[in-house]
Chains A and B, each alone.
Chain A
Amino acid sequence: MPTAILSLTTPIKAALVGLPALNGGQVYRGRDVVLPRDAQRGIRINTVRHAGKTLDVAGTHLLWTGDLAITLMARATSQQDGEEAIDELLGPVWAALLAMPAPPGANGIALDPLIAIALDEADQTVTTATLALRITHITTAADLQPAT
């Protein structure tokens, strides 16, 4: 059985794969790959860290504060600036994240969100928007399975 650490990102990936705003782009989970030159848009989902503490006296459960980075990538057309380009992906992704059911053991995935946008110039303006999501969730201490 996968741990709750992996189980958190599985439904997030499922919610984003095939999103029309991706225009056929890929969703990568747990990868450190470069968006190919011929891809206009893409998403990377990466677990950053999970900080845990014992939830009960017996120590059978753990309460975790997890940080995920969802990196949206887009290339601007010659008629767009970078913020316009990434916005076409940011809105639908955010809506999909809020609409998805909470992963097992978690109450929600959009607590204390942070959006960081970065730009660079090449043949096109390239833009990333990193959604830093804080997720609190509970697991069993023995095997890190989702718990409620």
Chain B
Amino acid sequence: MFDHDLAIFFADAGVDGTLAGQPVRVIFDAPAEEMLGGVMLASQPQVQIATASVPASVEGLPLVIPQGAYTVRLHVPDGTGMSTLHLSQA
């Protein structure tokens, strides 16, 4: 795990929101992907967030950011102190 301040990663591209009611700062992205073997196009909304800001059993909890209200579908920590939360529309 990096031991420096992760806040620098969120300074410019980050947005403020709440995760299960607690304030967080995240970097939002929503790439489009072909699903089900190229049958349907769908967005894969996700945020980058400091792992320390992610509560236990985060799946199913609400994330509210300026881009919209979402539910956390999957938590993927990368082992360096950063995590990706995959989101569904709330």
Contact = CB atoms under 8 A, between A and B. Distances in A.
A123 interface: yes
A10 interface: no
Interface residues of A, number: 20
Contacts, number: 60
B41 A123 contact: no
A136 interface: no
27 contacts: A32-B38, A34-B34, A34-B41, A35-B40, A37-B41, A37-B43, A73-B39, A75-B40, A78-B89, A118-B37, A120-B35, A120-B36, A120-B42, A121-B73, A122-B35, A122-B43, A122-B44, A122-B45, A122-B88, A123-B42, A123-B43, A123-B88, A125-B88, A126-B42, A128-B36, A128-B39, A128-B40
Interface of A: 32, 34-37, 44, 71, 73, 75, 78, 118-126, 128
Interface of B: 30, 32-45, 70-71, 73, 87-90
